[in-house]
Amino acid sequence: MNSQAAMFGELFRYRGLLGMLAWRDIRVRYKQSLLGVAWAFLMPLIQTAVLVLVFTSSTALTIDDTKLGGMPYMLFVLAGIIPWTLFNATIASSMECLTRNSRLVTKIYFPREVFPLANVLGALVDFGIALSVFIPVYIFYMFKPAVAPFVQPHPSVWLLLIPVILFFQVLLIAGLSMVLSMANLFFRDVKYVMTFVLQLWFFATNVMYPLHFEKHPWMTWINPMIAILDAYRDCWMGRGLTNPSGLLVSILVSTIAFFLGWRVFHRASFKFAEYV
């Protein structure tokens, strides 16, 4: 416990550096981009449009509307794409955060976890910008007359749970980012393996179609992102949680992933200079 408190204390002392690195990552990401920050809300919108077009136009792929919980399909996909993009893009970019900053890693002392954590903070800015796409669509469906089998989303007290869900999703992302950035430093082919793993993870998650395991609900516990996306959608629709046990398991997994990942990362950090 004392060691964990010391790690928090050290990170707090370098909070200025953490903020500076996060801001640098944001600026570098869009510096040479023609549309700049506009990509943060254009990408989820384009992805959603493509998925909705494919699934609504193709006869080979069909979605059972009854399993959407009354949620319009476009809103369903957009509510999954935005948090999934936060998860996927952050982990993908975090894997090289130590190798990208090799000079700082070898020459100056500070807690090395500021690199993956700064990457996570920068991604949260993109997440906030992406919500500027979701909220107008959400409001549109709030006032659009409901057509069976859809129901209108409505704000309720459940919206207050969204920051809590985001908090634990960020813990999961941060924990995985620290472990994978460390692993990629020691074994540079990790980033190639994870590219494949993240693609499989996408299809094993309820981003573009619902996943229900009525007979074996424990199967949702294997992938914590399933319950997290379910919880986001439940809160946006203003209904109670449809998978509370899965969300509790996801919260537990996220917490363990963060603290265990941080501890492993911190203990191995003295070796980083040898592998950069």
What pLDDT, on a 0 to 100 scale, did the predictor assign at position 98? 87
Rounded to two decimals, the pTM is 0.89
Higher-pLDDT residue of 60 and 220 is 220
Q: Is the pLDDT of residue 125 over 80?
A: yes
d(Cα 31, Cα 33) in Å, to the nearest integer?
6
What pLDDT, on a 0 to 100 scale, did the predictor assign at position 159? 93
What pLDDT, on a 0 to 100 scale, did the predictor assign at position 118? 92
Higher-pLDDT residue of 40 and 153 is 153
What confidence tier does 46 reach under pLDDT thresholds 50, 70, 90? confident
Higher-pLDDT residue of 256 and 38 is 256
Share of the chain above pLDDT 90, in %: 37
Which one of 49-53, 144-148, 204-208 scores highest in mean pLDDT?
204-208
* Mean of pLDDT values over 89-98: 90
Q: Is the pLDDT of residue 178 over 70?
A: yes
Residue of 184, 170, 169, 19 lying closest to 27 (CA atoms): 19
Q: Is the pLDDT of residue 145 over 60?
A: yes
| Domain ranges for the chain | 2-275
What pLDDT, on a 0 to 100 scale, did the predictor assign at position 133? 85
pLDDT digits (tens, 9 = 90+) for 225-235: 999 999 999 99
What confidence tier does 85 reach under pLDDT thresholds 50, 70, 90? very high
* Mean of pLDDT values over 152-157: 85
Average pLDDT over all residues of the chain: 85
What pLDDT, on a 0 to 100 scale, did the predictor assign at position 216? 64
What pLDDT, on a 0 to 100 scale, did the predictor assign at position 25? 81
